[in-house]
Structure 1
Amino acid sequence: MSLLINIEDLLSGTIVEGTRMEFKQGWNPTPIMRTVCAFANDFENEGSGYIIVGVEEKDGRPVRPVLGFDPNLFETVQKEMINYCNQIQPTYFPVLSLEEIDGKHVLVIWVSAGTNRPYKVPDDVLSRTKTYHYRIRQYSSTIVPSQEQELELIQLTAKIPFDDRVNQQAKTSDLSFALMREHLEKTKSRLFDESARMSVEELAQQMNLSQGANEHLFPKNVGLLMFSSTPQKYFKGAKIDLVEFPEGVDGKNFNEITFEGTIQQQLIDVLSYFKSNIIKEKIIKFSDREQSDRVYNYPYEAIEEALSNAVYHRNYELQDPIEVRILPDAIEIISYSGADPALKQRDFTRGIVRARRYRNRRIGEFLKELRLTEGRATGIPTINRALRENGSPKPKFDTDEPDRRYFIIEIPIHPAFTIDSDTLEEKATPQAIKILEYCKEPKSRAEILDYIGITNQTKNFNTNVLPLLEQDLIEYTIKESPKDRNQKYIITEKGNLLLSSLKKDNQ
């Protein structure tokens, strides 16, 4: 059988993370079967693992051109694997595929996450005396779990992520043969050509979208969500509601659009709508330099990553759709239920998020194959980077602690799209301009008031400094503790933009 993923994409590491791949120069059953067991246990709910035989490794990356695997040995290895896989407790069989790359063949062992974990394997499948241990992946290594990890692995028994579970309310024939083949064509899988001669049931099994005996074969939830014509028939909340509030949520006017169909098509359609109708560009000219800045109200990359993560990580057992709210000064993306309890609000605030386990491991695999989402734990850093490079304010995250009912990402609009000629004169008083210029470096309250020649009193602060804070022209340097005695104030991107606009108008 051929892989779902193109072998070139697999080796590139752009779609499958290094932790889910292991390279072997040659066929060596003992370490290979340990890794098969570890990938099948899928301790971190990462999804499929791949063992590539015939490839040398250096610093975790494959060495190209590959060494190669003798294709004449393929049938022999297949027969040996039957014996070795029967030694795994309970029995587990991966998929073997002979792939071509660099003018040579390599053997790829595709190990999808097992549905009967935890699995044990002999330390040495070639030894007459068998000593069994559980095996798990830790980063890029296969290890025997510690006592604590072993207990956690055992507790994962039958805790299969929702997207990888069998749905007995549907039939395998409810899957769309055309949609499955369309995915294979987009990912340039060799299985695309082979699938032309298969039935929908056979292709579903080859793509690991179904499970059971031939007479009791049922589709998995991921198959119905991504490869059925009407996923909403089985999951009422599997849709995206986009609402535009041009006057804010309290305004009378709003425009609502609902996106349905497969979840990947919903994502593509919403992103297309953003490109055509929401994202705008502006050229900012400066008086002190010739080069202009090209900025966007919302950088596309940040929107793409935030929406992809909502589709990837939402709870499809709930009937609540993903909500996208387009407000006058921000975009909110709301998904249900909330973030995993292991992730804390402070993690999102710092921009350092390390998920232990993923809610929808199979959905993530397919979205990565389609290049609709990035690799492991890159979502929040990507959003932060895209906004920073665009000169936009930082995003806000709400994990709804401690209830964890929802998760909101708020992406603020670039300040260039909130300042207009009608408000410039009101905000740009001589005193305000003086303070903004002074606060290009962090300054304390006392320093600011002394600089503009007035006493350090609350009334003077409220009159001269507080309005600039409220208008987001300056901000705290210690945001988490506004009343900190070491608090200082610094100009924001919006404040800098106001100064630049004033200088340009005065030329």
Structure 2
Amino acid sequence: MSILINIEDLLSGSIVEGTRMEFKKGWNPVPIMRSICAFANDFENEGSGYIIVGVDEVDGKPIRPFEGFNPTNLERVEKELVGYCNLIQPSYFPRLSLEAVDGKHVLVIWCPAGANRPYKVPDDVTAKHKSYNYRIRFRSNSIIPNDEQTTELIQLTAKIPFDDRVNTFASVTDLSKSLMREHLQETNSKLYEESEEMPLEELAEKMNLSQGAKEHLFPKNVGLLMFSRKSQEYFKGAVIELVEFPNGLENPYTEKQFEGTIQKQLIDVLAYIKTNVIKTKVIKYTDREKSDRFFNYPYDAIEEAIANAVFHRNYELQDPIEIRILPEAIEIISYNGADPSLKQTDFDKGRVRARRYRNRRIGEFLKELRLTEGRGTGIPTIVKSLADNGSPVPIFDANEPERLHFIVEIPIHPKFIEQGNNQVSDQVSDQVSDQVISIIKYCSSPKSRQEILNFLGLKNHSMNFKRNVQPLIEGGYIDYTIKENLKDRNQKYVATDFGKSVLIKIE
């Protein structure tokens, strides 16, 4: 069975953090079984772990050329692994995938977080007399926990994060095979091709989106949130509400609600903000050639703040994520607040590391789609992108001591408030981003989807189209050439009269 992400992405460390990966030059069951047990315990709710056999490493980085794993040994290793996994208490079985890279094969052992932690494993699975210990991950090592950590691990018994729990009120048939395959295609997983003729139930099991015996098989909450067309039937509050207050917190205001799978909501709301909210300003000076260019809100800060809200919110509550567009700030509000281990002083310093993730599976999938970054980088990214743009510092409100909500306030750049700067000889300010302008110009004559995405330097994937082109259609900047059949194989896109008028206005 293939893993859910591309092997090169896994090896690069761009999607999976180093603490969740181990490289082994060869098949060595003693340390490998310790690590399997540690990944199964998932002490900090980080998500799946990966052990790559056939790859040597230095300081946690893979060394090329790879040693490789001989495929003829796969059957023997599989049999040995089953025997060793039966020694884990309670039994736990990871998933194996033989992956081709650099003209060789490597064996990937995918270790999803276990549903029956805590797990113990023999210190030496090959020894005649075995001594058992718990194992947890500490940085990049699989260690025996101390007394305090052991107590905490035991307290995690049956405490499965909400997104990884089975939903007995739903059916596996509520999952959408096409949405699942769309994710696999976007992540360039080998499983995409393998799943074409695969039954829905089998694909759900291979993506770890279901659990139970064949006659009592149920989907997990993460599957309903991310791969079902009925998400809001089961999670009515799992939506994003965007409200624009042009005159502050008073009438008039406009509301827009984003529904569907949570990754679709995230992509759609970011596209809307990028097209309709973010503005660029260029200030040219009379005494120097170089001009200043900045944004009312840097996109990277907005993207990270909203992605964090989607990642970390409490999906057991009925409260939606709220985004308020105010005259001088954008507020992102998520309910049930930040993890209790995170203090207001941590946010004030701009350095925050979650003690234990609330939604480990959602985090995995969002990282695979590159919609959120690695561990602990969200707050620093927001702070840095605002500083690089010359904007005021963000405000983080942890709502202590009640901790009922968490607010990120992104202030507007002061130059979008100031008037009458006498150094300015020419100012250009518009709601249209540079990318939107370039696409409108490019589509002055009809262009196909592939041509537009190639022009943007992107792969011809549906998610890239939804994220970068669909908002221009919805905004009226470009339109279909074949309107009677939007899915026609000869469909192209051309700039509208409105789009052309925008270009004239800018020029």
Tell me the TM-score normalised to structure 1 length: 0.82
Asked if 1 retains the 8 angstrom alpha-carbon contact of 2:174 and 2:230, the reply is no
SS, match of residue 99 in structure 1: strand
**Counterpart of 1:335 in structure 2: which amino acid?**
S
SS, match of residue 30 in structure 1: helix
Q: Which residue of 2 aligns with 1:254?
A: 253
**Counterpart of 2:152 in structure 1: which amino acid?**
E
Identity %: 70
Q: Which residue of 1 aligns with 2:420?
A: 421
For the residues of structure 2 that align with 1:152 and 1:64, how far apart are their CA atoms? 39
For the residues of structure 2 that align with 1:116 and 1:15, how far apart are their CA atoms? 26
Q: Which residue of 2 aligns with 1:231?
A: 231
Matched, 1:142 2:130: no
| Cα drift, residue 286 of structure 1 | 4.0
For the residues of structure 2 that align with 1:273 and 1:160, how far apart are their CA atoms? 35
Matched, 1:163 2:173: no
Q: Which residue of 2 aligns with 1:222?
A: 222
Q: Which residue of 1 aligns with 2:278?
A: 279
Q: Which residue of 2 aligns with 1:361?
A: 360
Asked if 1 retains the 8 angstrom alpha-carbon contact of 2:333 and 2:407, the reply is yes
SS, match of residue 421 in structure 1: coil
For the residues of structure 2 that align with 1:423 and 1:327, how far apart are their CA atoms? 27
Q: Which residue of 1 aligns with 2:304?
A: 305
Q: Which residue of 2 aligns with 1:27?
A: 27
Q: Which residue of 1 aligns with 2:334?
A: 335
Deviations 1:196-217 (A, max 9, x none): 1211111000000000111100
For the residues of structure 2 that align with 1:363 and 1:423, how far apart are their CA atoms? 50
Query: C-alpha root-mean-square deviation of aligned residues, in Å?
Result: 1.2
For the residues of structure 2 that align with 1:196 and 1:265, how far apart are their CA atoms? 22
Q: Which residue of 2 aligns with 1:382?
A: 381
**Counterpart of 1:413 in structure 2: which amino acid?**
I
For the residues of structure 2 that align with 1:422 and 1:117, how far apart are their CA atoms? 63
For the residues of structure 2 that align with 1:182 and 1:87, how far apart are their CA atoms? 37
For the residues of structure 2 that align with 1:422 and 1:393, how far apart are their CA atoms? 19
For the residues of structure 2 that align with 1:207 and 1:415, how far apart are their CA atoms? 47
For the residues of structure 2 that align with 1:269 and 1:66, how far apart are their CA atoms? 40
Q: Which residue of 2 aligns with 1:351?
A: 350
For the residues of structure 2 that align with 1:312 and 1:207, how far apart are their CA atoms? 19
For the residues of structure 1 that align with 2:258 and 2:240, how far apart are their CA atoms? 5
For the residues of structure 2 that align with 1:325 and 1:361, how far apart are their CA atoms? 27
Q: Which residue of 2 aligns with 1:82?
A: 82
Q: Which residue of 2 aligns with 1:264?
A: 263
SS, match of residue 148 in structure 2: helix
The size of the alignment, in residue pairs, is 423
Q: Which residue of 2 aligns with 1:9?
A: 9
Q: Which residue of 1 aligns with 2:408?
A: 409
For the residues of structure 2 that align with 1:196 and 1:127, how far apart are their CA atoms? 44
Asked if 1 retains the 8 angstrom alpha-carbon contact of 2:240 and 2:257, the reply is yes
**Counterpart of 1:270 in structure 2: which amino acid?**
V
Where do 1:59-208 residues align within 5 Å?
59-208=59-208
| Cα drift, residue 354 of structure 1 | 1.2
For the residues of structure 2 that align with 1:169 and 1:360, how far apart are their CA atoms? 20
Deviations 1:161-192 (A, max 9, x none): 00000000000010001000100011010001
**Counterpart of 2:354 in structure 1: which amino acid?**
A
For the residues of structure 2 that align with 1:420 and 1:228, how far apart are their CA atoms? 49
| Cα drift, residue 287 of structure 1 | 5.4
Judged with a 3 Å threshold, the aligned counterparts in structure 2 of structure 1 residues 288 and 348 are, in CA distance, closer, same or farther, namely farther
Q: Which residue of 1 aligns with 2:51?
A: 51
| Cα drift, residue 420 of structure 1 | 1.8
Asked if 1 retains the 8 angstrom alpha-carbon contact of 2:399 and 2:406, the reply is yes
For the residues of structure 2 that align with 1:93 and 1:223, how far apart are their CA atoms? 21
| Cα drift, residue 291 of structure 1 | 1.5
| Cα drift, residue 292 of structure 1 | 1.2
**Counterpart of 1:388 in structure 2: which amino acid?**
A
For the residues of structure 2 that align with 1:423 and 1:320, how far apart are their CA atoms? 47
For the residues of structure 2 that align with 1:395 and 1:198, how far apart are their CA atoms? 47
Q: Which residue of 1 aligns with 2:240?
A: 240
The answer for unaligned runs of 5 or more in structure 2 is: 424-507
Q: Rg bigger for which structure?
A: 1
Tell me the TM-score normalised to structure 2 length: 0.82
| Cα drift, residue 327 of structure 1 | 0.1
Deviations 1:74-98 (A, max 9, x none): 1110011110000000000000110
SS, match of residue 342 in structure 1: coil
For the residues of structure 2 that align with 1:259 and 1:45, how far apart are their CA atoms? 28
SS, match of residue 67 in structure 2: coil
SS, match of residue 285 in structure 1: strand
Q: Which residue of 2 aligns with 1:485?
A: none
Q: Which residue of 1 aligns with 2:317?
A: 318
